Structure 1
């Protein structure tokens, strides 16, 4: 008789990360045997297009909010594990951190729970010695909770609760948006202009497919990943390398235009008027503020990844070159992979 599947709750299931994470968890194992996991997807709207997509893929839908305690309790019932990905740009830093703590504490209170996996980001303010120029709300929110977890016990096997962190980065799919991609207009020589203000810095860019693989890897290796932060990337990408690789693969001429952070942000008109979270308008940081901190973090090379180890463990993962070839990326813009269009719409203006 086959063993019962381990039920994994995915919070943020209908978001950019959630869709490939669910797909990876439900996919057959490497040896072709059925996945050992079943998925429960938390969603505010089970009738939404993405929720229906998850249901058709085999996920169970659970209607609720990630900030509602009763929904947290109900969503956890009977689960073996959980992948928690919250969104700073929906609720703001304070509410996100508080909600994350609630999810962790209630994981301990559900008797079936064994593995709590947090989708983290690098704590930019801390890495930059708390200099204001590195303050990025979404990076800091995830990083603060990363630090909270490091002070918690983690039981690698048996009936206790394991915690793991999968720290990601900007999605490589963002190369199709002004957030990471080229300027709208080509230069006077007809070249695509890559110009985000990173100078000689490196960006831990990650494909959504690769995130899904690493989350599955983390659940598959509970003991190995117990109490650890797994920092992942598809590439530690330098923008000179981006321009060179893009031209070599596509045959389309391109250049890396070096702009200052404020100079680039001035091109993305209106971001100073958009709060990180809508309810914080007038009293919290703007999207421009947090993008500035993020770009400075990359520009000054504050982030690191062990790319040799990542390639060794996951040799099938994308490289920049293989992603360009497989997706047919040509430097043009496309709709954002993110659910929210509040910021994306402003970027496209």
Structure 2
């Protein structure tokens, strides 16, 4: 029997990393072992991953020697760095690129052969220098650094669309006019956001249901994905279609009211400065959130099928989760959330 290939997962206790761990561990042929790299193996999330069968290993991403030791024997890695880590808010501290470089150097030192990196297209490149969006551009710089090492047999960037799960966050809902939790004074669930762009639609992904299977699908044949960015999108809809989908799924009257300017999004909230720039980026590029990769679910659907089938799933379980079905599950009658709708009167 062939020994399982060990995949290191960075950010394993986060939403993306956790989804990857769960999908790989569910592989029916047991061809993967998972090593979850974390700074805190004693956290509840780390213990939950260990209970599922992951090997949980402590390592500090800033320490190349420690990381290389933790990665010994790993065949591949999924890497996601947290752009919102408070350490990056301090201008005197190392940047996300510095952390990413340390991780890449560790992977090279440990002779890891494949990497799936959660990245973005470069805002600076696509807008010809008009915008520099720190999370997008630093992640892209990490990606380019990984390629420049000429070490890996495959480097596959995966670009995550707008998370379905962000709609579950009530704090985020207040920034978008209360959608999908609070009725406005006219009795609507109003989604209030800047316009996206003229050419391509916004895209959305279920991290918990789809993202892990996409990475799983890539790792089943990583060489064929070398250098090919993957748009991780479960559904593609305009904001007008989004509220129509929500209304159909839940019965709550809903509407989209565009903001006059992208500058109005989260105005006065410093933590949203870079999120605000995202709308400036999509307006400048015609909605090209994935850069030169078309906004489509085609690639994601193929990877979902491969990854899900490797977990023994078929039919609807091997297909991407439509946004409407997810809305119905989370906000429809009987979901629990529908009974918690607040009035805006």
When normalised by structure 2's length, the TM-score is 0.80
> How is 1:241-320 mapped onto 2 (pairs within 5 angstroms)?
241-259=241-259, 260-266=261-267, 271-272=269-270, 287-299=271-283, 300-303=286-289, 304-314=294-304, 316-320=319-323
2:330 alignment partner in structure 1: 327
Looking at structure 1, the residues matched to 48 and 321 of structure 2 have their Cα atoms a distance apart, in angstroms, of 25
Looking at structure 1, the residues matched to 303 and 212 of structure 2 have their Cα atoms a distance apart, in angstroms, of 14
Q: Secondary structure at the match of 1:257?
A: strand
- Farther off after superposition, 141-150 or 113-122: 141-150
- Farther off after superposition, 301-310 or 67-76: 301-310
The C-alpha deviation readout for 1:282-303, integer Å capped at 9, x for no partner, is xxxxx23211111222344132
Kindly state the Cα deviation for residue 195 of structure 1 after the two structures are TM-superposed: 0.9
1:183 pairs, out of 177, 180, 183, with 177
Quick check: 1:192–1:331 contact (8 Å CA) kept in 2?
Answer: no
Q: Secondary structure at the match of 1:246?
A: helix
1:92 alignment partner in structure 2: 88
2:76 pairs, out of 73, 81, 89, with 81
Q: Secondary structure at the match of 1:265?
A: coil
The C-alpha deviation readout for 1:183-225, integer Å capped at 9, x for no partner, is 2342232110111223556323211121101111111012211
1:278 alignment partner in structure 2: none
2:41 alignment partner in structure 1: 46
The C-alpha deviation readout for 1:152-181, integer Å capped at 9, x for no partner, is 5376xxxxx322211213311112235467
Quick check: 2:9–2:37 contact (8 Å CA) kept in 1?
Answer: yes
Quick check: 1:120–1:165 contact (8 Å CA) kept in 2?
Answer: yes
Q: Structure 1 residues 297, 205: closer, same or farther in 2, change over 3 A?
A: farther
Quick check: 1:8–1:81 contact (8 Å CA) kept in 2?
Answer: yes
Looking at structure 2, the residues matched to 82 and 314 of structure 1 have their Cα atoms a distance apart, in angstroms, of 19
- Farther off after superposition, 164-173 or 74-83: 164-173
Q: Structure 1 residues 128, 46: closer, same or farther in 2, change over 3 A?
A: same
Kindly state the Cα deviation for residue 9 of structure 1 after the two structures are TM-superposed: 0.8
Looking at structure 1, the residues matched to 64 and 163 of structure 2 have their Cα atoms a distance apart, in angstroms, of 30
1:230 alignment partner in structure 2: 230
1:137 alignment partner in structure 2: 134
1:276 alignment partner in structure 2: none
Looking at structure 2, the residues matched to 257 and 332 of structure 1 have their Cα atoms a distance apart, in angstroms, of 23
Quick check: 1:38–1:59 contact (8 Å CA) kept in 2?
Answer: yes
The C-alpha deviation readout for 1:30-82, integer Å capped at 9, x for no partner, is xxx33211111111111111011101111111112211222211121111111
The C-alpha deviation readout for 1:63-112, integer Å capped at 9, x for no partner, is 1221122221112111111111111211429522122223223323224x
Quick check: 1:120–1:146 contact (8 Å CA) kept in 2?
Answer: yes
Q: Secondary structure at the match of 2:15?
A: coil
Quick check: 2:76–2:114 contact (8 Å CA) kept in 1?
Answer: yes
Looking at structure 2, the residues matched to 20 and 313 of structure 1 have their Cα atoms a distance apart, in angstroms, of 15
Kindly state the Cα deviation for residue 151 of structure 1 after the two structures are TM-superposed: 4.1
Quick check: 2:63–2:102 contact (8 Å CA) kept in 1?
Answer: no
Q: CA RMSD in A?
A: 2.5
Q: What is the aligned length? A: 303
When normalised by structure 1's length, the TM-score is 0.79
Q: Structure 1 residues 211, 66: closer, same or farther in 2, change over 3 A?
A: same
Q: Structure 1 residues 46, 296: closer, same or farther in 2, change over 3 A?
A: same
Looking at structure 2, the residues matched to 200 and 179 of structure 1 have their Cα atoms a distance apart, in angstroms, of 22
Quick check: 1:203–1:298 contact (8 Å CA) kept in 2?
Answer: no
Quick check: 1:116–1:163 contact (8 Å CA) kept in 2?
Answer: yes
The C-alpha deviation readout for 1:209-243, integer Å capped at 9, x for no partner, is 21101111111012211232222211233110101
2:316 alignment partner in structure 1: none
